[in-house]
Amino acid sequence: MKTLVTLTASALLASIAFAATVSPDGTCGGANGYTCLNSAFGNCCSQYGWCGSTTGHCGTGCNPAFGTCTNNPPPSSTVRSSSTPQPTPTKRVSTDGSCAGTNGYTCLGSTFGNCCSQWGWCGSTVDHCGTGCNSAFGSCTGNGGTTTSTTSTSPTPTPSGSVLQCLNTRNVPYKMTSDAGWADLIEPYNLRLPHTPAVVVLPSTNQHVQDAVVCAKQAGIKVQAKGGGHSYANFASGGKDGSMMIVLEAFNGIQLDASGVVKVGGGVRLGNLADGIWTQGQKALSHGTCPGVGIGGHATHGGYGHTSRNWGLAMDAIVKVDVVLANGTLVTASSTQNSEIFWGIRGAADSLGIVTSFYLQTRSAPSSITYFEIQFDGIFNSKATFTNTLLHLQDFARNASVVDNRISFGIYMDGYGSFAPSGAFFGSVSEFNTKIRPEFLRGLPTPTNVIVQSYSWYDYLVKVSGKNTIKVPLTGYDEHENFFAKSITVPESDGLTATSLNSLYDYIKRGTSVDYFIIINLYGGPGSAINSKDTNFAAYSDRHSLWVMQNYGFTANSITWINGLNDAVVKAQPQTQFGAYLNYVDPSLDAATAHKVYYGDAVYARLLALKKSIDPQSVFWNPQAIGA
């Protein structure tokens, strides 16, 4: 991670030497490389990457590359026009119970207590005035110097105080660093990207979520929800230290109604969802294979699986959501109610609200489904074999005489020479073997192993999960990996060319000590239900891909190599407008690039307008959020 940040920042510095973008959201440096100079938040970029004008920002650790490091006049007067140094502005008295941090409030004279704790909250207890007390933003001697707040602006209208006091007042369950279980709570799925939240909220009711969002908003803390917590960039814990992480673990209800619509809590994991709707009514949904992934992130940012060419993405099954907005209001959104929010949530929920319940239109599970896996050896023995094999599979994927919506597959390959397309067919084994298999294999090297097998729906789910069961424990989920991944969406109009496949082959053959895999999933082709929709349906722009390629490397050592692998494809096809898939969110992208490759300009512009109208203060934030 350190390497990544350094590389990105210096690369950005090189390219933006004289024209860094002024911070629109209070962040600085980092992947976006925003400067604080002339920003509305203050001119100094703190060591933690926030703009401000306090000594916390301009003093020790201040980053001169993204602002100035001398105490500045308030941002209303322009820096350049003042030739004489301004006096250090008096720190503003905390109006919300927070201190230091982004706002740089002092506790001295505040209504919350005079001591600023190590966590950035005002109070007068030993927790505030004892170990770790920050003397730059208050006193550290008990309640010393009881000042009356003659200069302070009026306190916030609620009795909230700091975010913790606010949560306490509203009886919202939460955990802090000192609490038992904290380390497990914040341990991310992707161990490469740990972040330490300011507080972890553990709501069990909608009202708790609403209250937590209000408390965070009042305290100026950013919020992200954690459903399954599988975000490749660990956005569930904010994507940066100091956020409020709202863990939706208790939102685990699954209730199927007579019309086949299932109400699903925002914290339900895919395995439990599939198990629940099967058990309650032999129903099924389209979604990915990993049982531990949460419905929240998965369905609001796409949601591909090997039933998606038939049934669409997980997102496409959403008929309604209950969502908590940045002002703490709980609304229902559907195609007829709050329809713009409904549009935006399906593509950008991380920036727009917290879905506490989904309402999903299920399907009747098929009585059986055909699983197939075709393993090859020696595909990497020659460039011609590699490229021609993939070009043939691409022809196959586009061939309407053999492919319709009933078939999906992905091509798995890795550094050990594996090459194995596998997928699902909504038809019989005999139809697959007589109609599809001959064309699939035509002209290819003889496979070493061909598996074509019929499964009951439930057994199929277990099979593709790679586990013994799709059920996942409701608490104490403890699966982790250490990885870097990114993706390429390949437009149907272009496909992959021989040139880019040759380039990919050359890159792979250079060799690496990195452990990696590549999966090229079929999204498009004749009859694809994914591509039968467009961006009017949802804020999801990837409705025209033939393939979506996932490039996945283990440990931080893989970053450079995986980036190079992406480049090997993308740069060999400069005429093609490649994008990227939201659910393989790539933390190495700066915000502007992320917005472009995930959404495209038109969808992004519409999302930005929505964001400004329902979350003008960017309460819901991560480094690639709408508006970041």
Ligand X SMILES: *[C@@H]1O[C@H](CO)[C@@H](O)[C@H](O)[C@H]1NC(C)=O
Structure tokens that stand for 151 in this block: 């200069």
Query: Which residue, 163 or 610, is less far from ligand X as judged by CB?
Result: 610
- Please state the closest distance from residue 263 (CB atom) to ligand X, in A: 23
Mark residues 133-172: x for contact with ligand X by CB under 6 A, - for none: ----------------------------------------
**How do beta strands 545-554 and 516-522 pair?**
antiparallel
SS3 content of the chain, % helix, strand, coil (to 5): 30, 20, 50
Query: Which residue, 335 or 399, is less far from ligand X as judged by CB?
Result: 399
Asked if residue 614 binds ligand X (CB under 6 A), the reply is: yes
Of 428, 392, 400, 387, the closest CA to residue 524 belongs to: 400
Stretch that binds ligand X, among 89-97, 283-291, 307-315, 323-331 (CB under 6 A): 323-331
Asked if residue 327 binds ligand X (CB under 6 A), the reply is: yes
Give me the DSSP letters along 185-226.
HH--SBTTS----SEEE--SSHHHHHHHHHHHHHHT--EEEE
What residues does 579 pair with on adjacent strands?
489
- Please state the closest distance from residue 170 (CB atom) to ligand X, in A: 16
Stretch that binds ligand X, among 7-15, 236-244, 398-406, 603-611 (CB under 6 A): 398-406
- What's the CA dihedral at 576, 307, 407, 431 to 10 degrees? 180
Spatial distance between the Cα atoms of 227 and 249, rounded to a whole number of angstroms: 7
Asked if residue 402 binds ligand X (CB under 6 A), the reply is: yes
Query: Which residue, 431 or 439, is less far from ligand X as judged by CB?
Result: 439
Asked if residue 439 binds ligand X (CB under 6 A), the reply is: yes
Structure tokens that stand for 506 in this block: 């050359």
If 0-12 CB within 10 Å is exposed, 13-18 middle and 19+ buried, where does residue 601 land?
Answer: exposed
The answer to whether 460 touches 370, Cβ cutoff 8 Å, is no
Asked if residue 399 binds ligand X (CB under 6 A), the reply is: yes
Mark residues 353-382: x for contact with ligand X by CB under 6 A, - for none: ------------------------------
- Please state the closest distance from residue 419 (CB atom) to ligand X, in A: 20
- Please state the closest distance from residue 161 (CB atom) to ligand X, in A: 21
- Please state the closest distance from residue 230 (CB atom) to ligand X, in A: 29
Asked if residue 434 binds ligand X (CB under 6 A), the reply is: no
Cβ within 8 Å of residue 349, ≥6 positions away: 296, 297, 300, 301, 323, 355
Query: Which residue, 439 or 481, is less far from ligand X as judged by CB?
Result: 439
Give the distance between the most distant pair of CA atoms in the chain: 87
Asked if residue 207 binds ligand X (CB under 6 A), the reply is: no
Spatial distance between the Cα atoms of 439 and 443, rounded to a whole number of angstroms: 9
Residue type, 621: W
Mark residues 210-239: x for contact with ligand X by CB under 6 A, - for none: ------------------------------
- Based on its alpha-carbon atoms, the radius of gyration of the chain, rounded to whole angstroms, reads 26
Asked if residue 325 binds ligand X (CB under 6 A), the reply is: yes
Size of the site for ligand X (CB under 6 A): 10
Query: Which residue, 22 or 402, is less far from ligand X as judged by CB?
Result: 402
- Please state the closest distance from residue 1 (CB atom) to ligand X, in A: 36
Cβ within 8 Å of residue 571, ≥6 positions away: 503
- Please state the closest distance from residue 114 (CB atom) to ligand X, in A: 33
Residues of this chain that interact with ligand X (CB under 6 A) are 325, 327, 329, 395, 399, 401-402, 439, 613-614
